[in-house]
Homo-oligomer: A and B are copies of this chain.
Amino acid sequence: MSERFLVIGGDAAGMSAASKAKRDDPELEVVVFERGDWVSYGACGLPYYVEGIIEHLDDLVIVDPDKVAQRGIDLRRGSEVVGITPRDRTITVESDDGRYEEPYDHLLLATGGRGKLPPVPGAALDGVFTIRNLDAGRALRNYIHPDESTTVPQEQAGYGSTLREMVGEVDTVAVLGANKIGLELAEAFVGRGLEVHVFETGATVLPVYGTDVASVVDQHLRERGVHLHLGTDVEQLRGDDGSVTAVETGDGSVDVGAVVADLGVDPNTELASDAGIELGTSGAVARDEYGRTNVPDVYAAGDCAEKHHLLLDETITWPYALAANRAGRAIGSTVAGTPTPVGGIVGTNVMKLFDLEVARTGLTRAEAEAAGFDAISRTITTITRAHYYGGWTRITVRMTADRDSGRLLGGSLVGEEGAAHRVNAVATALHARMTVAEVGSLDFGYAPPFGPVWDPVLTAAKVLEDARG
């Protein structure tokens, strides 16, 4: 009889593992249990769905269920795994067909995470959203733009909110947290013609991008009409008739019709804990370099599992798509017979905000100092094309190193072109533990339409190396 690989959760990590395992070992019986309707979806596209430039939720789906079946994977949607019994090597599933058990030879926990609501009064009001999956995105769009509503059963819309029975006009939206998704949503709301207020407890937008990059973003957001409330603690969400109507801070109150929180992600670990699977210090499921938990033949990947940060040499939560896909794929290989490490992260992130590309990798100076490094940073601003080639704009690059060894610790970039892909070279240098002197000596490409002779990344490294000396 063939071995059975059961996967709990049908998004990035789960579907990557299932697909890779089945492809590498066609004899393997692979079953994916997804409690919702959607599998293999691109939640990172939700801001564009909310804005309306992506019309249908279906458009975000990467692999549709029919394709999954064609791959020979037994996909069971509407099937929630409610228990794991390691002693018997079984799981317990609840679906419309009732409750049943399934035996496993290999099991993957890919239960994801959920957005944090603000820990203040009023967080349970209607019109307060987090946004981590497609139904939440739909509920948010329906709430702010009800004439685009599709019929959604009440019980499916409950991600921090339910559909209002009487939908009024929403013309002002609050975003809690000036982080990646929050600011992408701010752009989406501006695109909708809404007034947007962003509330951030830190002193700058994008606190993990470094102050110099943040200040460029700050100015750009304000020019586009986004109202920024920085260094501001939200104390309460006020409501009327069960729906949110205002954000209250120490500095006063702002009337809003909806609130979206981007305050981090809590890993979904209840199923693991109940089964005696250990969590790590970050609160996510602990796993070794192959994604194995403390329970034999049980793996964890995606937002529910810890990631290994290569610069900190610590495990952290890191709820981003590539890390989930990569860990899932690696575990699929391992289950199919080729032990494959899930790999570490260096903290790379990138986003578009209006006309800006914004990117970061590694550690900011503040993060590096908190981790015990004696860090030094420098910021340069240069141009994105040769000076004589038309259409150049400014690009700002901030780079951080260990003062004594010169080891590169991080970089962030912002500009209207060239920032998004340039960050990956910096990320590669971080993986390779290069010094900034080594980075400054890299043989990059040069052509007038794409940069100055010394690429901005090289210039930043040279300036930082000179400052260190």
CA distance A387 to B427 in the complex (A): 24
A85-93, A252-260, A322-330 - interface stretch: A322-330
Q: Does A424 make an interface contact (CB < 8 A)?
A: yes
What distance in Å separates the Cβ of A330 from its nearest Cβ neighbour in chain B? 8
Tell whether, in the assembled complex, residue A455 and residue B424 are in contact, meaning their CB atoms are under 8 Å apart.
yes
Q: Does A185 make an interface contact (CB < 8 A)?
A: no
Tell whether, in the assembled complex, residue B45 and residue A448 are in contact, meaning their CB atoms are under 8 Å apart.
yes
Interface hits, A174-220 → B, CB 8 Å? none
Tell whether, in the assembled complex, residue B442 and residue A386 are in contact, meaning their CB atoms are under 8 Å apart.
no
Tell whether, in the assembled complex, residue B445 and residue A359 are in contact, meaning their CB atoms are under 8 Å apart.
yes
Chain B residue numbers with a CB within 8 Å of A438 are: 431
A122-130, A140-148, A348-356 - interface stretch: A348-356
Interface hits, A371-403 → B, CB 8 Å? 386-390
A27-35, A103-111, A415-423 - interface stretch: A415-423
CA distance A438 to B341 in the complex (A): 10
CA distance A386 to B61 in the complex (A): 11
Chain B residue numbers with a CB within 8 Å of A454 are: 322, 325
CA distance A457 to B427 in the complex (A): 13
CA distance A341 to B435 in the complex (A): 14
- Nearest B residue (CB) for A44: B448
Known: A344-B443, A434-B432. A42 touches B425 (CB 8 A): no
CA distance A118 to B323 in the complex (A): 53
Chain B residue numbers with a CB within 8 Å of A322 are: 443-444, 446, 453-455, 458
CA distance A63 to B441 in the complex (A): 22
Chain B residue numbers with a CB within 8 Å of A62 are: 387
Tell whether, in the assembled complex, residue B447 and residue A350 are in contact, meaning their CB atoms are under 8 Å apart.
yes
CA distance A448 to B49 in the complex (A): 12
Tell whether, in the assembled complex, residue A429 and residue B428 are in contact, meaning their CB atoms are under 8 Å apart.
yes
What distance in Å separates the Cβ of A415 from its nearest Cβ neighbour in chain B? 11
Interface hits, A245-279 → B, CB 8 Å? none
CA distance A318 to B382 in the complex (A): 26
Sort A-B residue pairs by CB-CB distance and give the 6 closest, nearest first. Answer: A350-B445, A432-B432, A421-B421, A343-B441, A428-B428, A424-B425
